[in-house]
């Protein structure tokens, strides 16, 4: 069982060493540079001879990742970013891939962790023609993660993001003109939330919940709507949306605690008591 670790990079000199050090014993490391002006390529060449600079950036992460994927020769692929590090051994990754392969699975969920924040995502997958990256901004595989694993990735925030802070927003605004999919709406709303443009974030999250059937993401969107309305000093609308999040998932600890924080004390006590036993089962993003 050959495992290929695949990265796309650009101006990642601040963090690439740590990432590649964590996977240096991999069977194969593929690094595709999308236009670095620092010494990213030189750093990558310390760990692998499969460093490519033949890709011209097209404002599409899926396009870049699929180009990098085309270079890999492994039986299974592990996708990792420069600001991430593998918290398991290569043998542990191989064991998970072998077990998944025996059971006929195509993709395996990995837990991404930063402090007390975490979420799962299918980063380990079989190299097959029908398994590829979709989505210009927030990527997703053409197949779902069919099984969870004990594999973990630690992640941080790359300094390279500050070189083009509006990149994701720019890509999403382009994409939403072509495809008003629920996923694009959700992540576009999140970009406006980051910028504290709560009114525009509300517009897109409300459009999102009207079209989505993904319950875990719906619950998160209702919680974020609650946070937006609370920031705009519209307490009743904030509570109404937070209740919708809890109604979808009563184990959503963050939603329960936020409901407590925006409720009158005689109700807040009960919300806090519920939060104590909340398991975060089926929660999309577990945040601190």
Helix, strand, or coil (residue 47): coil
Whether 163 shows a pLDDT value over 90: the answer reads no
Whether 282 shows a pLDDT value over 90: the answer reads yes
Determine if residue 168 is left, alpha or beta; phi over 0 gives left, psi from -120 to 50 gives alpha, anything else beta: alpha
- pLDDT tens for residues 200-249? 999 999 999 999 999 999 999 999 999 999 999 999 999 999 999 999 99
**pLDDT confidence band for 24 (50 / 70 / 90):** very high
Structure tokens at 176: 């939403």
Calculate the alpha carbon distances from 144 to 64, 86, 123, 163, 222 in Å.
Answer: 20, 21, 10, 32, 23
- pLDDT tens for residues 171-193? 999 999 999 999 999 999 999 99
- pLDDT tens for residues 88-125? 999 999 999 999 999 999 999 999 999 999 999 999 99
**What's the pTM?**
0.91
Whether 157 shows a pLDDT value over 90: the answer reads no
- pLDDT tens for residues 241-267? 999 999 999 999 999 999 999 999 999
The structural domains of the chain, with segments of one domain joined by +, span 3-160, 166-276
Sheet strand arrangement including 117-126: 51-52, 28-33, 3-9, 76-79, 117-126, 107-114, 147-155, 84-86
CA distance 183 to 69: 23
120 bridge partner residues: 111
Residue with tokens 């000199």: 13
> DSSP labels for 73-131?
--SEEEE--TTEEE-S-HHHHHHHHHHHHHTT-SEEEEEEEETTEEEEEEEEEE--TT-
Structure tokens at 288: 């601190």
Rounded mean pLDDT of the chain? 97
CATH number for 3-160: choose from 3.90.550.10, 3.40.50.720, 3.40.50.360, 3.30.1330.10. Answer: 3.90.550.10
Whether 56 shows a pLDDT value over 90: the answer reads yes
Q: Tell the CATH topology of 166-276.
A: 1.25.40
CA distance 168 to 165: 8
Whether 161 shows a pLDDT value over 90: the answer reads no
Q: Are 136 and 59 in contact (CB under 8 A)?
A: yes
């Amino acid at each position: 069982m050959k495992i290929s670790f695949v990265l796309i990079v650009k101006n990642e000199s601040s963090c690439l060493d740590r990432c590649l050090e964590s996977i240096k014993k991999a069977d194969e490391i593929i690094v595709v540079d999308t236009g670095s002006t620092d010494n990213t390529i030189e750093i990558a060449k310390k760990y692998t001879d499969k460093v490519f600079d033949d890709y011209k950036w097209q404002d599409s992460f899926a396009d870049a990742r699929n180009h990098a994927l085309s270079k890999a020769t492994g039986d299974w692929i592990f996708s990792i970013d420069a600001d991430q590090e593998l918290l398991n051994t290569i043998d542990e990754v191989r064991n998970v891939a072998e077990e998944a392969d025996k059971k006929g699975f195509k993709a395996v969920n990995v837990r991404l962790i930063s402090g007390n924040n975490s979420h799962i995502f299918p980063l380990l997958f079989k190299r097959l023609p029908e398994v590829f990256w979709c989505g210009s901004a927030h990527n997703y595989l053409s197949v779902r993660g069919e099984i969870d694993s004990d594999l973990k990735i630690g992640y941080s925030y790359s300094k390279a993001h500050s070189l083009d802070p509006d990149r994701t927003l720019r890509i999403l605004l382009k994409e939403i003109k072509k495809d008003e999919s629920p996923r694009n709406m959700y992540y576009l709303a999140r970009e406006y939330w980051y910028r504290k443009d709560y009114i525009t974030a509300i517009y897109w999250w409300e459009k999102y919940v009207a079209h989505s059937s993904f319950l875990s993401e719906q619950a998160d969107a209702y919680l974020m709507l609650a946070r937006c309305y609370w920031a705009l000093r519209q307490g009743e609308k904030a509570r109404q949306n937070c209740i919708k999040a809890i109604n979808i998932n009563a184990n959503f600890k963050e939603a329960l605690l936020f409901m407590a924080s925006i409720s009158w004390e005689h109700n807040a006590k009960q919300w806090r008591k519920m939060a104590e036993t909340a398991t975060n089962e089926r929660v999309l993003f577990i945040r601190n």
